[in-house]
Amino acid sequence: MREYYENNVAAVTGGASGIGLALCDMMLSFGAKTVVLADIDETNLARETARLDEKYPGRAFAVKTDVASQQSVGAMVARAAEVGGRLDLLINNAGLGLSGAFDDASDADWKRAFDVNFYGALYGIRAALPIMRAQGGGQIANTASGIAYVAMPYQSMYSATKSALLGLTTSLRYELWDENIRLSTIIPGTVATPIWGGGPIPDFAITPEESARGILHGLAANQRVIFVTDMDREGAVNATDPGAAQRMDEYLLEVARKRRAGTGLF
């Protein structure tokens, strides 16, 4: 992997914490030329960029970015290409962890969910394509979730936005293939990050560093869908296997009842 990322120019949204930060740190450790940390959290952004700049002088850059704003995302992508002289890799990683009953979510909540979890990536793709076409290619990765395959109850917004992102990415992978622009969907696993909002984190959650290593391995291999964990890979297989339909119905119904009663997440 070190050879693949050496001298690369990358930008990562949600880059100031969790998986995004681990990706930035790891790519720099592999010899990336420059990495732009894009995040809306100015405090985290300043602190983590300063920390990375101390480890990798002159190679980590911060750009405050609101992924719900096309102008903000476009400015970030342009800045990444400016500081690096090109843009080899864009990872659209920022997102909201969304849960709750369908009846409790307003149309405004749904719009916000898609603005961040779907349109944020779409804006990044639109901004990156002219740059990557002009330089002869590049790579774009969008962070979805295993929920795109196994739609969990009481997470309708999260399921819908991540399923849409999976569909967009897979379609564009082949639309842009002959232009040497590679697209991959990231299924990062259940990861112990701030996306849990201070709530309980499952004991089977992996670390951001473990997730980042799996993601970067998958990107280097140009995998269509990067499954970091066996759990998500098996879930996707079962979700599309007619022979597992009854078992999946029973499992998801059990999850729904637990969540409704407040007795567990899974």
Q: In this structure, what CATH number is given to the domain that contains residue 192?
A: 3.40.50.720
Q: What is the pTM of this model?
A: 0.95
Q: What does the alpha-carbon distance between residue 36 and residue 92 come to, in Å, rounded to a whole number?
A: 12
Kindly state the tokens that stand for 206.
């992996």
**What percentage of the chain exceeds 90 in pLDDT?**
92
18 lies in some domain? yes
Q: What residue numbers bound the domain in which 163 lies?
A: 2-234
What pLDDT score was predicted for residue 204? 86
Amino acid found at 195: I
Whether 239 is in a domain gets the answer no
Query: Tokens 């962890």 correspond to what residue?
Result: 97
Q: What angle do CA 10, 25, 193 make, to 5 degrees?
A: 105
d(CA 77, CA 69): 13
Asked if residue 76 has pLDDT above 70, the reply is yes
State yes or no: pLDDT of 12 exceeds 70. yes
Q: Is residue 243 part of a domain?
A: no
Residue 64 domain flag: yes
For residue 253, being part of any structural domain is answered with: no
Cα–Cα distance, 233 to 176 (Å, whole number): 25
Mean of pLDDT values over 28-44: 98
Looking at residues 5-10, what average pLDDT do you find? Answer: 98
260 is a domain residue: no
Flag whether 195 is in a domain. Answer: yes
Residue 248: per-residue pLDDT: 97
Catalytic annotation, residues: 158
pLDDT value of position 162:
98
Residue 246 falls inside a structural domain: no
User: What is the count of structural domains for the chain?
Assistant: 1
- Using one digit for the tens of pLDDT, what is the confidence trace for 241-258? 999 999 999 999 999 999
Output the six-digit token pair for 170.
């897979």
* Confidence bin at 196 (pLDDT 50/70/90): low
